[in-house]
Structure 1
Amino acid sequence: MANPIFREKLQAGTFFVVPGIQDMIAAVIANKVGFDIVYGTGYWLTASAWGLPDAGIATYTEMRNRMETLARTSNAAVIADGDTGYGGLLNVHHTVKGYEASGVTAIQLEDQEFPKKCGHTPYKRLIPAEDMVEKIRVAVDARSSEDFVIIARTDARESEGLDGALRRMEAYAKAGADVLFPEALHSEEEMRKACSVLDRPCMANMSNHGKTPVPPAAVLAEIGYAYAIYPSLTSLAAAAAMEKALLDLKQQGIGQPDGLFDFTEFCHLIGFPEVWEFEKKWALAK
């Protein structure tokens, strides 16, 4: 069941931030911090599960399973990266139905050819705007709940320029998209123009070291975005911390460095108290 909090936040018009979640460790840490919306990132969930690039290699079934696991683990509403819908119109229909049944609250669909590429990497190829319009219409028709949000993304900035990307966004809005996602804009000036001319809520993709600047949240709010996702933040922070710990172990033999997360607390975050209560109950029942 889609969580109404996402649509409520969009209607309230107050800017908010959404962290990307690459695995269930990140999910339980986000639970602790207290985010009420998180982003199931295709790039980083694929990297963490299979060690593969975000290039359309992971299948719909595999990604649905990952999103379902995230929706179960997270206390927050989940925005799910649905790539291209994994094929044509029938695939989009089944992807929307499947993701909604998996417990996510929103799906993001993009106008690349299948298989897709990460939006901040080269060699992206787009489908005609008319074909993406049909995908959005199918997606809107496929959802069961009005609380389930359809996000339309375009990767046209690189090949068609900003004006071409905005024309696509306008067409996708008319097709029924609830949120517009002009990917990989190159400057704050472009970001301001997109937010000023588009009449649906716009989201920003704050991909660290990608093509788009990453200004503070207050600046994004002033520009006019409804919200921003930070898909790579936890992944790159975790990778840097792991590399440092492993180098310390290899080079200096340090296996107990300062700054580790408390193990007992993590046991509680991941659900061990319920296991211990079960063991206590049934051990005493014997």
Structure 2
Amino acid sequence: MVLSSIAYFTGGREDEGVEESLVTENQTIDFLDVGGRLVNEPFSSIHDALRMTPEGVEMAVYVDIEAISETPAGPFIRSQLQMEGLGIDILDSLYGANTTHMYFATFEESNDSFLLMTTFEPKIVRFNFISRQYGNYKVLQRMDTGHSNVLGSPTIFGPQKNVLAALDLIEGVNTNMSYARYETVLLEAPRAEYQRVTDNITFADQFYIGMTPGDNSTLVRTTIYLKPEPKVVEKIESLGANSTERGFDEYNITRTNDLMVVSIRSTPINVISETYQ
């Protein structure tokens, strides 16, 4: 599922309290002028985002775009996002603003079921929408993509069903969040500017990868495996055995019960090039 493929109109129910807003060229609307409550939730990690995400996620990625832009790994992470259809230019064009943080999740139920959360500046609306009340929030049915938005920090975007489910989690109406699915792995995951978790893999039941800047222009990568395949464990341990000779400052492998946690630190090119399976 990529953002560049979601520009279609799906329509929606004509609920009571529907308001249509047309934004002319070069016109903008401030968040506060749209009305309704703004989302105001912690959004500094994949942990935070998954707590706002309904259950059923098979892959999720979180990126602090502002922070990675200042690191040696920034170009690599940006190119990865671009290849996955999550290019920063696509995110920026969705709101006509500069994206600072992003989270994207796909669901196992179908290839086109997703949820996107972002923060961006300035906090404005540049798209035409039909507004519907949902509790205290204004749900904006976009007339350019057909998907729904709820404004705030973070701003939530996706199929209406997923957006409303996220609001239900935020308001405590529902407690079935996707964080619970990955909690065992995420409890071992340190905060990082780039984070990804998935169970749509073959070499472990679940896999997490996070990257953050280290000392002296190095890059730190943490990978976490839930019930890894024996051949993966063997491969990682063999890589760790000669890591010093290959220029790694750290290559720590910890195994407890069903988890294997690997933390490596070296030059960005060494870390990015090192296989994890």
Q: TM-score range by the shorter chain?
A: under 0.3
When the two structures are superposed, what TM-score results if normalisation uses the length of structure 2? 0.28
When the two structures are superposed, what TM-score results if normalisation uses the length of structure 1? 0.27
